[in-house]
Amino acid sequence: MINFKENEELNTLNHSCAHVMAQAVKHLYPQAKFWVGPVVEEGFYYDMDLGNDVIRDEDLPKIEKEMKKCCKADKLIVRHEITREEALEQFKDDPYKIDLIKRMPQGTNISMYTQGDYTDLCRGPHVKSTKQCRYFKLIKHSGAYWKGDKNNKVLQRIYGVCFPTQEELDDYLAQLEDAKQRDHRKLGKELQMFMFSETVGAGMPMWLPNGFTVRRTLSDYIMDKELAQGYIHVKTPSVASTKLYKISGHLAHYKDDMFPIMSRDGDEYVLRPMNCPEHMIIYKSTLHSYRELPVRIAEIADDFRYEASGALTGIERARSFTQNDSHIFCRPDQIADEIKNITHLILDVYKDFGFDDYSFRLSLRDVNNKDKYFGNDELWEKSEAQLREVLKEMGVKYYEAIGEAAFYGPKIDVQVHSAIGHEVTLSTIQLDYQLPERFELEYVDKDGSRKRPVVIHRAILGSLDRFIAFLLEETKGNLPLWLAPRQVVVIPVSPEAHGDYAAEIVKTLRSHGIHAELDDRNEKLGYRIREAQTSRIPVEVVVGDGEIKDHGVTVRRYGSKEEVKKSLDQFIADLDEEIKTKKH
């Protein structure tokens, strides 16, 4: 998807179109007062106070019609400057503009832009005339607190997009429609994978049978990968004493993102936001020799973070989620090899899922905001240099991002762009010298001395919830056979005449570990076939007199009209092979 904010031409055009929209709104709602109208990644918006009037969906076409009149008038957009005092006088009846003007230093000249009968404060730049803004579309509207403060009045916000040509606008609107159809929240509901309930709480997903099947498949998949690489799996509690998080530093550096402390019988507990502190305690429970290292502790763990309500995005960003987490305790001389092994594991997993559009980001500390982090400069510089060196050794292309490090150490993040335009982190590798110090972790070196291990935090699938959201949007809900919660549906032409044979097939498929189901409802054959397609079941099997006679099946794949006849044994062998090889 296009980033309007970063594209200089589109940025200028969309900011100009925001002014055209404000001009049109002013024509239709003379009492309107305006706050700000910036360009954002997805286009532009304008926040406005319309008094007692409320914008509804049916009002957007009316505003668009008036905008077209403003564009057709082809008014020049003219810049001029006035003094701060003149601006205060000109906008004396507009509290929103007065607030903006008063933030500007005394003696400042303020730039204004006028187009016909509409004038607004603005730094610019703008296009030459309103006619250049004629290829636009208003996308949606919502409420927004003035200045983003929930204690302030709710203003009305209208979003839109603008392009230089009608063709570009049409292409973008088609992309938006595709993104709408791919949105994991829509797909999750259609495929009955997960749900939310206000009674349960915002950001608290509940996984339905289909969704839980996918989660279990993913969990088994990644744990098998980890076991093959020498990981050991553990299970730790989702609630722990605040003592633990004081040692780890979470209460000092991460408290705002955690659920409130719970007090009981003089003790304090908190829902955990991540699993590193518990894994530190597990490592520390045993004295380790240098020969035992690395120790790779892994967990499929439930975590909780109090995300702001405005940041919640289905299961992509929730308050309750499950991480494919691991902490590797190693000697300093093992760091490079461990990070390389993790990177190879990430690439191996991405190959299984067919991911090829991703980038590596080296997330570093912001040295101008050191209060956000703990630890000394020497350890930070050392760990950042080590991650950078390993990436260069591997020949991995990467970019650096200041301020994206965890509060205890730098990290390598694997960034993907979802099909609906969100940039998300799927996998992460973090190098940490800080927590071993805080927890006083040790191993016995070859000379008998006690040394500090280094900890590598890593998540391959990251949050299972976010990973599934990404998968749904990438595949449009058409999950590959090995991952689909409903893999095969067997449909007898006549439930009475062919139902027993269909049931026998289902029983045989299930004995091979294949998720098969029988649709022997008293409905027309065409109806049952269409419903299987709508449900995105990868394989449909239709059986009638011919299939019973030949002890075979007629197979149709999702999205195809082609029908293939096979023996039952060959059909099962083909399914087993496709699932085993994780064909995508």
Q: DSSP per residue over 25-62, as a string?
A: HHHH-TT-EE----EETTEEEEEEE-TT----GGGHHH
pLDDT at residue 419 in the model? 75
pLDDT at residue 40 in the model? 92
pLDDT in tens, 223-265: 999 999 999 999 999 999 999 999 998 898 888 899 999 999 9
pLDDT at residue 252 in the model? 86
pLDDT at residue 542 in the model? 94
pLDDT at residue 299 in the model? 97
pLDDT band at 536 (very low <50, low <70, confident <90, very high): very high
pLDDT at residue 268 in the model? 95
Q: Which residues are catalytic, by number?
A: 276, 305, 323, 325, 327, 411, 457
Distances from the Cα of 134 to the Cαs of 22, 140, 252, 576, in angstroms? 14, 18, 52, 56
pLDDT at residue 209 in the model? 96
pLDDT in tens, 406-422: 887 888 999 988 777 77
Per-residue pLDDT for 400 more than 90?
Answer: no
Q: What is the mean pLDDT of the chain?
A: 92
Q: How many CB atoms lie under 10 A from the CB of residue 214?
A: 22
pLDDT band at 5 (very low <50, low <70, confident <90, very high): confident
Least confident stretch, 388-392, 447-451, 454-458, 510-514? 388-392
190: its two tokens: 């259609």
**Rounded to 5 degrees, what are φ and ψ at 54?**
-125, 130
pLDDT band at 456 (very low <50, low <70, confident <90, very high): very high
377 or 413: which leads in pLDDT: 413
- Alpha carbons 529 and 491: distance in angstroms, whole number: 8
pLDDT at residue 380 in the model? 85
Per-residue pLDDT for 376 more than 80?
Answer: no
Q: Coil, helix or strand for 579?
A: helix
pLDDT in tens, 112-138: 999 999 999 888 899 999 999 999 999
pLDDT band at 404 (very low <50, low <70, confident <90, very high): confident
Per-residue pLDDT for 373 more than 80?
Answer: no
Query: What's the mean pLDDT in 192-220?
Result: 96
Residue 364 contacts by C-beta under 8 Å, 6 or more apart in sequence?
384, 400, 401, 402, 403, 404, 405, 410
389 or 507: which leads in pLDDT: 507
Least confident stretch, 206-220, 297-311, 333-347, 417-431? 417-431
Residue 218 contacts by C-beta under 8 Å, 6 or more apart in sequence?
324, 461, 464, 467, 468, 483
pLDDT in tens, 303-357: 999 998 888 999 999 999 999 999 999 999 999 899 999 999 999 999 999 888 8
Annotated binding site for Zn(2+): 276, 327, 457
Per-residue pLDDT for 62 more than 90?
Answer: yes
How much of the chain, in percent, has pLDDT values that exceed 90?
Answer: 72
pLDDT band at 160 (very low <50, low <70, confident <90, very high): very high
pLDDT band at 29 (very low <50, low <70, confident <90, very high): very high
Query: What's the mean pLDDT in 476-481?
Result: 94
pLDDT at residue 107 in the model? 81
pLDDT at residue 367 in the model? 82
pLDDT at residue 224 in the model? 96
